[in-house]
Amino acid sequence: MVPSRLPVETGHRLLKRVCGLSARKQRALFGEPPTIDGQTLASDLHALIRLAEKIGAGSITGDRSPEAARRERRRSAALTSPTPPTPMESVEALELPGPAGPLAARHYVPRGSVAPAPLLLYLHGGGWVVGDLDTHDGVCRFLAAAACVNVLSVDYRLAPEHPFPAAVEDAWAAYAWASANATELRADPGRIAVGGDSAGANLAAVVSLLAREAGRLPAMQMLIYPIADAVGGQRSRDLFAEGFLLTKADMGRFEELYLPAGTDRADPRVSVLRATDLSRLPPAYVATAGFDPLRDEGEAYALRMREAGVPVALVRHPGLTHTFANLTAISRTSRAAMLEAAGALRMGLAR
């Protein structure tokens, strides 16, 4: 989001200063935010995007190799993460048993946590291709502190080195382990939620489908701008195809890398929206962003769950873009949205 020659600390201060200006000053510097589909982009997100345009920042993937895209994602996360990090009572590195070897994980216990505590299994976003424990460290700390829940973040295998269904297998293994080892995590086995953002929200939704069949339902789902349909056809993928942090081309590239040739894109383990039966799933909190190519499929999935009798809280943040979960340290509107998500998580896991 800022020139690579700038130190991360300098870039963080620049982004925070620009996003922290008053809406009037942001409009004076960067122009009026666009209004599309009856929604107006939040002034701080507009300032962030225009700043990125001015310094020539590209899309998430562009023409980069997967490894180069991962390096850029880690740098972007460092630029927008809280400085210093949100304090925790403890943060412990773990290794969980996975289907192809140990899975790195990180267990966050917030200050004031009382065992047995509610637990969120968090699966990071990044199109199944980028992202790791570090890119979402700030997100996990934020949710742990704001919702007063323990958080278990898992570093599932990434494509293209490990294409579908590797990430699904890892996510399910992590949930099964957490369910069986709740005591080790100082957690209440009856109050384990699954959640994530983007591709991680997709995996959390798939875990919920698999858990239903296994008779081991989580207490709730927290799905932040989930990928829900790789088959395509949603209006928002075209309406917000360019200019709002995540592009239609990014999504096409992610799906190309994640899904081997011949994969059925309607497989519910890829496209949860295409599942024939969405009944008997855990209660869900689904948050979407108004200026996000994934908006319509996430909302369609929430409404289909609701029609199937699942309790669903669906919230659209009309002025926000994809990635707002990672912007709480610099964007006031993103922080407000994530505080709402944390509140829903806290209420959903209350005794």
Could you list the active site residues?
198, 292, 322
Both structure tokens of 79 = 């630029």
To 10 degrees, the CA torsion angle through 250, 79, 167, 348? -110
CA-to-CA distance for 46 and 219, rounded, in angstroms?
36
Which residues are 39's β-sheet partners?
36
CA-to-CA distance for 44 and 173, rounded, in angstroms?
39
Contacts of 150 (CB under 8 A, 6+ apart): 107, 108, 109, 110, 113, 117, 118, 119, 120, 144, 185, 186, 187
Return the closest-CA partner of residue 4 out of 72, 60, 77: 72
CA-to-CA distance for 179 and 181, rounded, in angstroms?
6
If phi > 0 it is left, if psi is from -120 to 50 it is alpha, else beta; for residue 127 that is: left
Q: What is the DSSP string of 22-72?
A: -HHHHHHHH-PPPEETTEE--HHHHHHHHHHHHTT---SSTT--HHHHHHH
Neighbouring C-alpha atoms within 13 Å toward the C-beta of 1: 34
